Amino acid sequence: MTASDRWEQGSSFPAILPGEGQACPFPAAHQLYGSGRQALRALITFGRREYGWRLLHVPAFYCPEVVESVTDLLPVRRYDTGPFGPQAVPAADTGEAVVTVSYFGEAPVLPTSGTSQVIVDVTHDPIADWPIETRADFVFASLRKTLPLPDGGVVWSPRGLPLPPAAPPSVEHLATAGRALTAMVLKRAYLDGADVDKAGYLDLFAAAEAGLRSPTVSGISDYSRQALDVLPASELRRRRIANANHLGDRLRGLPGITVHARTFGVLLKFDDPAERDVMRQALINRRVYPALLWTLPPEVTPPRQLDLSRRMLYLHTDVRWSGADLDRVGEMIRQLWSCRSLASSRAGQAAAGLQGVVA
């Protein structure tokens, strides 16, 4: 239970101790690493050696930090696709690998021909049913985005192909995971009303995020490995989806905003990128912390994907929040949008009046 004066919505997970549950339903043959980026690095290193990969195709609409984390391993070529199209796949050949993305939990379009190997990033919904049954060669995910863990990434092959080797947890990575776990515990205490310096645990989160950019591939921490065996992952997913549908229903009908409820959360697509930015800042000022997925590099991103990235806002809907919390967020957004519409209307009326005076 969060203290009434500490209420906030969004941002990183606080510590949530596992309750009674069952192991995450990954295939029996899977490999765990320190992060999703490390899982992808391990897979690419393996693919270079075993399959002769020499080029990696990645979607234009994709997390730039993930792309940057592997450019020292393979040349990267972007292809024009995103969460709302076009449903493009690259012309790839033998010795090339193609990354596709499950945007916000949706199953991606896979290449239907060619001899390249396909990797699917399922970070936004790693325990859905379809990733186990997909005909992709490999699947990987970061586990911190949907589960209350300080670290963790996973790789498996739906086709039963050999996996990259396990890696021992590095001292460097364990220190990073320790910082993240400490930040999560302190955040939990802060939200419960304890005398905790918020800036202190935010600094720890930032330090942990910086540590996860290390190019060294590490095994997962002991805490996260064991938590995966007891976290009620399916129930957490069910609650996240139910919350997304609940919040999505509260937000539909706002002019100038398209609402998408997905298994990962709620996406707001604004007609005007400037209004997206104003809304984001207004929510932050009210302790609601939405995410930008993603801030893309303009020099290499096709115009339509770049434009879309500037109009999207992601709202968290995971197990931390009740229906009342999400009603509060929905009402807040509606009031902010109403004020914006009223201000625009008044500005238009003033301009019209001024034109009448000039005329």
Stated pTM of the model: 0.92
Residues in CB range of 248: below 8 A, 6 or more apart: 259, 260, 261, 266
- Indicate the residue among 231, 261, 281 that finishes a domain: 231
Residues in CB range of 249: below 8 A, 6 or more apart: 261
Q: What is the pLDDT of residues 218-255, one digit of tens each?
A: 999 999 999 999 999 999 999 999 999 999 999 999 99
- Indicate the residue among 231, 265, 294 that finishes a domain: 231
pLDDT at 113: 63
Q: Which residue ranges in the chain fall short of pLDDT 50?
A: 345-359
Q: What is the CATH number of the domain that holds 42?
A: 3.40.640
String of b and e for 206-239 (b: at least 16 CB within 10 Å)? ebbbebbebeebbbbbebbeebbeebbbeebbeb
pLDDT at 341: 60
Which residues constitute the domain of residue 323?
Answer: 233-350
Residue 72 and residue 212 share a domain: yes
How far is CA 133 from each of CA 107, 127, 137, 198, rounded to the nearest angstrom?
A: 11, 12, 11, 43
Q: Is residue 9 part of a domain?
A: no
Q: How far apart are CA 205 and CA 187, in angstroms?
A: 10
Identity (one letter) of the amino acid at 234? S
Q: Is residue 4 part of a domain?
A: no
Q: What is the pLDDT of residues 296-331, one digit of tens each?
A: 999 999 999 999 999 999 999 999 999 999 999 999
Residue 281 and residue 186 share a domain: no
pLDDT at 357: 35
Residue 306 and residue 216 share a domain: no
pLDDT at 131: 94
CA angle 22–23–25, rounded 5-degree value: 110
pLDDT at 349: 47
Residue 121 and residue 110 in contact, taking contact as beta carbons nearer than 8 Å? no
Nearest to 33 by CA among 202, 196, 228, 192: 228
Q: How many domains does the chain have?
A: 2
Residue 132 and residue 109 share a domain: yes
